[in-house]
Protein backbone atom coordinates (compact mmCIF):
# COMPACT_ATOMS: atom_id res chain seq x y z
CA UNK A 1 0.00 0.00 0.00
CA UNK A 2 1.46 3.31 -1.01
CA UNK A 3 1.12 6.22 1.33
CA UNK A 4 -0.66 9.13 -0.24
CA UNK A 5 -1.21 12.70 0.81
CA UNK A 6 -4.71 13.98 0.95
CA UNK A 7 -5.85 16.45 -1.68
CA UNK A 8 -6.16 19.18 0.94
CA UNK A 9 -2.57 18.67 2.10
CA UNK A 10 -1.29 18.69 -1.48
CA UNK A 11 -3.20 21.90 -2.16
CA UNK A 12 -1.84 23.48 1.02
CA UNK A 13 1.72 22.52 0.14
CA UNK A 14 1.32 23.75 -3.43
CA UNK A 15 -0.09 27.10 -2.39
CA UNK A 16 2.51 27.47 0.34
CA UNK A 17 5.30 27.06 -2.18
CA UNK A 18 3.82 29.83 -4.32
CA UNK A 19 3.34 32.32 -1.49
CA UNK A 20 0.10 33.54 -0.07
CA UNK A 21 -2.20 35.28 -2.55
CA UNK A 22 -3.42 37.50 0.31
CA UNK A 23 -0.04 39.24 0.70
CA UNK A 24 -0.21 42.84 -0.52
CA UNK A 25 2.00 43.75 -3.41
CA UNK A 26 4.56 46.32 -2.30
CA UNK A 27 6.20 46.96 -5.62
CA UNK A 28 9.61 46.44 -3.99
CA UNK A 29 12.09 44.17 -5.67
CA UNK A 30 12.44 40.77 -4.09
CA UNK A 31 15.55 40.62 -1.93
CA UNK A 32 17.71 37.49 -1.97
CA UNK A 33 17.31 35.35 1.15
CA UNK A 34 19.98 35.31 3.80
CA UNK A 35 21.17 31.71 3.38
CA UNK A 36 22.87 31.59 6.79
CA UNK A 37 19.55 32.46 8.47
CA UNK A 38 17.77 29.75 6.49
CA UNK A 39 20.33 27.14 7.50
CA UNK A 40 19.80 27.77 11.22
CA UNK A 41 16.06 28.34 11.14
CA UNK A 42 13.92 25.57 12.54
CA UNK A 43 11.17 24.23 10.30
CA UNK A 44 7.64 25.28 11.16
CA UNK A 45 5.61 22.64 12.94
CA UNK A 46 1.96 22.21 12.01
CA UNK A 47 0.04 21.86 15.27
CA UNK A 48 -3.41 21.77 13.71
CA UNK A 49 -5.52 18.72 14.45
CA UNK A 50 -6.03 16.71 11.28
CA UNK A 51 -8.31 13.84 10.45
CA UNK A 52 -6.62 10.45 10.09
CA UNK A 53 -5.84 9.47 6.52
CA UNK A 54 -8.57 7.52 4.82
CA UNK A 55 -7.94 3.85 4.21
CA UNK A 56 -6.78 3.06 0.69
CA UNK A 57 -9.64 2.31 -1.65
CA UNK A 58 -10.35 -1.26 -2.58
CA UNK A 59 -9.24 -2.08 -6.08
CA UNK A 60 -11.93 -2.98 -8.60
CA UNK A 61 -12.40 -6.74 -8.87
CA UNK A 62 -10.91 -8.54 -11.86
CA UNK A 63 -13.70 -9.71 -14.18
CA UNK A 64 -12.92 -11.93 -17.17
CA UNK A 65 -15.29 -13.07 -19.90
CA UNK A 66 -15.39 -16.78 -20.66
CA UNK A 67 -14.94 -17.15 -24.42
CA UNK A 68 -15.78 -20.72 -25.46
CA UNK A 69 -15.12 -20.19 -29.18
CA UNK A 70 -11.71 -18.51 -29.39
CA UNK A 71 -8.70 -20.81 -29.35
CA UNK A 72 -10.95 -23.74 -28.45
CA UNK A 73 -8.16 -26.26 -29.18
CA UNK A 74 -5.65 -24.59 -26.85
CA UNK A 75 -5.24 -25.20 -23.13
CA UNK A 76 -7.35 -22.98 -20.90
CA UNK A 77 -5.62 -19.60 -20.50
CA UNK A 78 -6.22 -15.91 -19.91
CA UNK A 79 -5.63 -13.43 -22.71
CA UNK A 80 -6.51 -9.79 -22.12
CA UNK A 81 -9.91 -9.67 -20.44
CA UNK A 82 -10.98 -13.15 -21.59
CA UNK A 83 -10.40 -16.68 -20.46
CA UNK A 84 -10.41 -19.10 -23.39
CA UNK A 85 -9.41 -22.52 -24.58
CA UNK A 86 -10.35 -25.86 -23.05
CA UNK A 87 -11.86 -24.50 -19.82
CA UNK A 88 -14.70 -27.01 -19.28
CA UNK A 89 -12.76 -28.68 -16.47
CA UNK A 90 -12.91 -26.60 -13.25
CA UNK A 91 -9.29 -27.50 -12.40
CA UNK A 92 -8.10 -26.18 -15.79
CA UNK A 93 -10.08 -22.97 -15.29
CA UNK A 94 -8.71 -22.44 -11.78
CA UNK A 95 -5.15 -23.10 -13.00
CA UNK A 96 -5.56 -20.53 -15.79
CA UNK A 97 -7.00 -17.92 -13.40
CA UNK A 98 -4.21 -18.55 -10.90
CA UNK A 99 -1.51 -18.26 -13.56
CA UNK A 100 -2.82 -14.93 -14.86
CA UNK A 101 -0.92 -12.08 -13.28
CA UNK A 102 -3.96 -9.78 -13.13
CA UNK A 103 -3.94 -9.47 -9.33
CA UNK A 104 -0.67 -7.88 -8.17
CA UNK A 105 1.55 -9.27 -5.45
CA UNK A 106 2.66 -6.68 -2.90
CA UNK A 107 6.13 -7.68 -1.74
CA UNK A 108 6.75 -4.62 0.45
CA UNK A 109 3.80 -4.59 2.85
CA UNK A 110 2.95 -7.07 5.62
CA UNK A 111 5.84 -9.36 4.70
CA UNK A 112 5.74 -11.00 8.13
CA UNK A 113 2.02 -11.91 7.85
CA UNK A 114 0.48 -15.05 6.44
CA UNK A 115 -0.34 -14.96 2.74
CA UNK A 116 -3.69 -13.23 2.15
CA UNK A 117 -5.80 -11.06 -0.18
CA UNK A 118 -6.30 -7.44 0.83
CA UNK A 119 -7.09 -4.20 -1.05
CA UNK A 120 -7.01 -5.98 -4.40
CA UNK A 121 -3.53 -7.44 -3.83
CA UNK A 122 -1.87 -10.61 -2.63
CA UNK A 123 0.14 -9.79 0.51
CA UNK A 124 2.24 -11.54 3.09
CA UNK A 125 4.82 -14.30 3.01
CA UNK A 126 3.50 -16.30 0.06
CA UNK A 127 4.57 -19.37 -1.82
CA UNK A 128 3.91 -19.47 -5.58
CA UNK A 129 1.13 -21.98 -4.95
CA UNK A 130 -0.57 -19.67 -2.44
CA UNK A 131 -0.34 -16.75 -4.86
CA UNK A 132 -1.96 -18.86 -7.58
CA UNK A 133 -4.76 -20.03 -5.25
CA UNK A 134 -5.53 -16.48 -4.09
CA UNK A 135 -5.50 -15.11 -7.64
CA UNK A 136 -7.91 -17.84 -8.78
CA UNK A 137 -10.19 -17.35 -5.77
CA UNK A 138 -10.40 -13.58 -6.33
CA UNK A 139 -11.00 -13.49 -10.07
CA UNK A 140 -14.58 -13.26 -11.34
CA UNK A 141 -15.68 -14.91 -14.58
CA UNK A 142 -18.65 -13.74 -16.66
CA UNK A 143 -20.16 -16.67 -18.57
CA UNK A 144 -22.84 -15.48 -21.01
CA UNK A 145 -23.69 -19.02 -22.17
CA UNK A 146 -24.42 -20.69 -18.85
CA UNK A 147 -28.05 -20.17 -17.86
CA UNK A 148 -28.40 -17.78 -20.79
CA UNK A 149 -32.21 -17.78 -20.47
CA UNK A 150 -32.15 -16.71 -16.82
CA UNK A 151 -31.88 -13.19 -15.37
CA UNK A 152 -28.38 -11.97 -14.49
CA UNK A 153 -27.09 -13.56 -11.29
CA UNK A 154 -23.94 -14.88 -9.64
CA UNK A 155 -23.04 -18.32 -8.37
CA UNK A 156 -19.74 -18.38 -6.54
CA UNK A 157 -17.30 -16.25 -8.53
CA UNK A 158 -19.19 -16.70 -11.79
CA UNK A 159 -21.67 -14.18 -13.18
CA UNK A 160 -24.13 -15.67 -15.64
CA UNK A 161 -27.43 -15.15 -17.40
CA UNK A 162 -28.74 -12.22 -19.42
CA UNK A 163 -26.58 -9.39 -18.08
CA UNK A 164 -26.07 -5.80 -19.06
CA UNK A 165 -22.61 -4.27 -18.47
CA UNK A 166 -24.06 -2.40 -15.47
CA UNK A 167 -25.42 -5.63 -14.00
CA UNK A 168 -22.04 -7.29 -14.40
CA UNK A 169 -20.38 -4.46 -12.47
CA UNK A 170 -23.08 -4.69 -9.78
CA UNK A 171 -22.78 -8.47 -9.48
CA UNK A 172 -18.95 -8.24 -9.38
CA UNK A 173 -19.13 -5.69 -6.56
CA UNK A 174 -21.41 -8.03 -4.62
CA UNK A 175 -19.03 -10.95 -5.07
CA UNK A 176 -16.01 -8.87 -4.09
CA UNK A 177 -17.82 -7.63 -0.97
CA UNK A 178 -18.12 -11.26 0.19
CA UNK A 179 -14.37 -11.77 0.15
Residue 133 domain-assigned (yes or no)? yes
Residue 116 domain-assigned (yes or no)? yes
Residue 21 domain-assigned (yes or no)? no
Residue 121 domain-assigned (yes or no)? yes
Residue 24 domain-assigned (yes or no)? no
For 92-148, the pLDDT digits (tens) are 999 999 999 999 999 899 999 999 999 999 999 999 999 999 999 999 999 999 999
Number of structural domains found in the chain: 1
Residue 77 domain-assigned (yes or no)? yes
Q: Answer whether residue 3 shows pLDDT above 70.
A: no
Pairwise CA distance, residues 158 & 141, whole Å? 5
Q: Report the pLDDT averaged over residues 13-37.
A: 45
For 57-67, the pLDDT digits (tens) are 567 899 999 99
Range of the domain at 147: 62-177
Residue 27 domain-assigned (yes or no)? no
Amino acid sequence: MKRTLSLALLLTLSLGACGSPAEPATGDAIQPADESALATAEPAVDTAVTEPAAAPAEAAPVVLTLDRASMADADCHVMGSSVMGKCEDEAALQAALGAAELIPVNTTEMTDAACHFMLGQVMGACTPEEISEIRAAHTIVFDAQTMADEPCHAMGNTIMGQCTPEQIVEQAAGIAASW
